[in-house]
Amino acid sequence: MFYYLFDYLDKLNFPGAGLFDFISFRAAMALITSLIVSIVFGKKIILALSKQQIGETVRDLGLTGQMEKSGTPTMGGIIILSAILIPTILFAKLHNIYVITMIISTVWLGMIGFLDDYIKVFKKNKEGLKGTFKIIGQIGVGLIVGCMLYFSDEVTVHKRVDADYVLQNDEEFVTQLHVQNSGENYKWIKTDDMTTTIPFIKDNEFNYNWLIGDMNKSYGWLLFIPMVIFIVIAVSNGANMTDGLDGLATGSSAIIGLALAVLAYVSSHAKFADYLDVMYIPQAEEMVVFIAAFVGACIGFMWYNSYPAQVFMGDTGSLAIGGIIAVFAIAIRKELLIPVLCGVFLIENLSVVLQVGYFKFTKKRFGEGRRIFLMAPLHHHYQKKGLHEAKIVSRFWIVGVLLAVVTIVTLKLR
């Protein structure tokens, strides 16, 4: 909203209005606003949740300090969602296809998580929303995002090709691809191919249409959309699994968000994309504003969620932040980096899968179930070993920082 207002004022030569043309300024304002919203209004939301007695019901799993958390207000994800959406609406270009995609994903997944928490708290059903309905909801948002990113004419990338390659093609082909000079020996060409980045490989571009055997963007959606659905489900559930200790999920998500901000900025900046030899994605610069609000929301939420937590995000927050990370990575064509960047979420998910799978296998094979970990997800394993909750969270954050650095380094490491 402010962008359009100040764009109009800039045309009237209003002093300082031109600042809103700069992504760096609007991203900084979105970050500051999200911090203010989450910290200032977060306190009021926590008080409202407490008055409504919307508290966490904790089962006794034999973990140190666990039962002390019983009754702590939950559904605090409302704070995170508000701190993301308000700055985005204020400072981003709302007609941008990527911003629209992110807003839809945020609201959709937030509503699924809210419904899950509502059933747990008000209907006194510990299971919450049935897993089948939760998966259907995640498939729905994956389907919408996949269709928007694949079929929209506004979603394009610019690839760098050798100038001789362009000259060998007829004028119609060159005009169709909107050739743009970018240097003496190569040119940028605009294409709507659904191409993504392969980490650690030179000339690291992969086209989904290629696997289907048709490079004319006819059937690539048969692979791309299921891939989007799988990634959204995997990452959102991974974030949900990670949300088991005070500040763990929010801190890890903030670190991931910072790395995504870097990747989005270099991908949307022609000179940086040229220097790093990555795909240039026009209009993706607005994603930087969104992810700045996301990072600010996560950090601001930790004001109350750090140990000892005054509020829990619940599924309202955890499903949403995981889905946001997944959709954002897909939009900037970095989804194949998710296993590295979201390594903390991945290992938490895998620890549960391995624990359950091994238990069932050994029970069938030996007559009694055996475990790999003392308890899953992995952070509870370390709790069982006697490590303090704050120490576990800090160490997971350190691992998250290392993974984020490795992810950014992949821009040149190939």
Q: What is the pLDDT of residues 300-340, one digit of tens each?
A: 999 999 988 899 999 999 999 999 999 999 999 999 999 99
Q: What's 123's DSSP letter?
A: S
Of residues 237 and 413, which shows the higher confidence score? 237
pTM across the whole model: 0.90
**pLDDT tens digits, one per residue of 173-229:** 343 444 444 444 455 566 656 778 787 776 667 777 776 655 555 677 888 899 999
Count Cβ neighbours within 10 Å for each residue of 285-295 and write b for 16 or more, e otherwise: bbbbbbbbbbb
Mean pLDDT of the chain: 85
List % helix, strand, coil for the chain (3-state, nearest 5): 65, 5, 30
Residue 356 exposure: Cα atoms within 13 Å on the Cβ side = 6
φ and ψ of 189, to 5 deg: -120, 140
**pLDDT tens digits, one per residue of 367-396:** 888 999 999 999 999 999 999 999 999 999
Collapsed DSSP state (helix, strand, coil) of residue 142: helix
Partnered with residue 159 across adjacent β-strands are: 189
Residue spans of the domains in the chain: they are: 2-154+219-269+283-337, 157-212
Q: What angle do CA 97, 135, 232 make, to 5 degrees?
A: 40
**pLDDT tens digits, one per residue of 47-97:** 988 887 666 665 556 666 555 566 788 889 999 999 999 999 999 999 999
Question: What is the pLDDT at residue 235?
Answer: 96
**pLDDT tens digits, one per residue of 123-136:** 878 778 888 999 99
Q: Nearest Cα to 295, choosing from 266, 270, 271, 264?
A: 264
Going 220 to 204 to 232 to 108, the CA torsion angle's sign is negative
Q: At 171, is the pLDDT very low, low, confident or very high (cuts 50, 70, 90)?
A: very low
Question: What is the pLDDT at residue 184?
Answer: 45
Q: 10 Å Cβ neighbour count for 408?
A: 18
Of residues 145 and 71, which shows the higher confidence score? 145
Question: What is the pLDDT at residue 145?
Answer: 95
